[in-house]
């Protein structure tokens, strides 16, 4: 990570809904009123709906939303799209398909621009799939094994929609993620409408409706998010 990155928020899902009051704080931290939303992960789920939902939510917080339709690999290699990301002060990656999002952004001009923006102090947030891909390793949503993520932050994996029976009815995927994690690797379960936030000073904290859980070496870490400070 750079010397002075901006705020990073990993959200457990159900973004831009009641309980996500931390978004007001993220908007303030950006120093402006504009949010650039990339609905890449929702490319096959009417991505324009994600942009509209974000616009309605942030309007109530005094913000304005611009959607950037980076939906394919070609879009992610577009110089104009990369320039818009690099100039943004608050970039938000929506929920959807983590595998599609990773395939579109990995080693792309748009992702390089996202890294540049964050290292220059911009706020970056990802929800659900958007949160999962920003770490390395990344939890494979198909079964809970670990795979390669984009690595905006490393030595960390997150399980989003934590505690939701519809996402993992018997907890098998979560168990697999925790058991297969290498020694010392924190796996953080993040409930919906909840954010795990990395502040510019390097400290981690939680905000929102739920309580995250941190697992290390096969069990619950008694120090919770404070465990991440030892990465």
pLDDT digits (tens, 9 = 90+) for 179-200: 999 999 999 999 999 999 999 9
Q: Which band of pLDDT confidence, cut at 50, 70 and 90, is reported for residue 169?
A: low
Specify if 231 maps to a domain.
no
Instruction: Report in angstroms the alpha-carbon separations of 3 from 30, 112, 201.
Output: 17, 17, 10
* Domain assignment of residue 198, given as a range: 8-224
Q: Quote the pLDDT of residue 170.
A: 62
Specify if 54 maps to a domain.
yes
What's the total number of domains in the chain? 1
CA 22 to CA 182: how far, in whole Å? 31
Q: What is the pTM of this model?
A: 0.95
Query: HEC profile for the chain?
Result: CCCCCCCEEEECCCCCCCCCCHHHHHHHHHCCCEEEEECHHHCCCCHHHHHHHHHHHHHCCCCEEEECCCCCHHHHCCHHHHHHHHHCCEEEECCCCHHHHHHHHCCCHHHHHHHHHHHCCCEEEEECHHHHCCEECEECCCCCCEECCCCCEECCEEEECCCCCCCCCCCHHHHHHHHHCCCCCCEEEECCCEEEEECCCCCEEEEECCCCEEEECCEECCCHHHHHHHC
Q: What is the mean pLDDT of the chain?
A: 94
Query: Which domain CATH number covers 47?
Result: 3.40.50.880
Residue 215 has pLDDT above 70, yes or no: yes
Q: Quote the pLDDT of residue 36.
A: 98
Q: Quote the pLDDT of residue 230.
A: 47
Backbone angles phi, psi at 35, to 5 degrees: -125, 125
Specify if 12 maps to a domain.
yes
Specify if 128 maps to a domain.
yes
Specify if 141 maps to a domain.
yes
Specify if 28 maps to a domain.
yes
Specify if 2 maps to a domain.
no
Residue 51 has pLDDT above 50, yes or no: yes
Specify if 168 maps to a domain.
yes
């Amino acid at each position: 990570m750079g010397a002075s990155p901006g705020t990073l928020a990993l959200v457990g899902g159900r973004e831009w809904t009641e309980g996500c009051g931390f978004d007001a704080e993220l908007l303030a931290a950006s120093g402006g009123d504009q949010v650039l939303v990339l609905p890449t992960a929702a490319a096959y789920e009417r991505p324009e709906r994600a942009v509209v939902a974000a616009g309605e939510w942030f309007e109530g917080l005094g913000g304005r939303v611009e959607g950037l339709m980076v939906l394919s690999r070609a879009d992610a290699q577009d110089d104009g799209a990369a320039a818009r990301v690099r100039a943004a002060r608050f970039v938000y990656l929506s929920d959807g398909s983590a595998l599609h999002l990773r395939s579109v952004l990995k080693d792309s001009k748009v992702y390089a621009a996202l890294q540049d923006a964050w290292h220059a102090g911009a706020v970056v947030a990802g929800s659900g799939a958007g949160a999962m891909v920003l770490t390395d390793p990344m939890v494979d949503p198909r079964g809970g094994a670990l795979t390669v993520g984009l690595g905006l932050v490393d030595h960390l994996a997150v399980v989003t929609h934590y505690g939701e029976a519809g996402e993992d009815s018997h907890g098998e995927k979560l168990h697999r993620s925790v058991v297969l994690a290498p020694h010392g690797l924190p796996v953080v379960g993040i409930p919906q409408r909840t954010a795990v936030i990395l502040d510019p000073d390097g400290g981690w904290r939680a905000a929102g409706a739920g309580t995250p859980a941190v697992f290390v070496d096969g069990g619950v870490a008694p120090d919770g998010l404070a465990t991440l400070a030892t990465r």
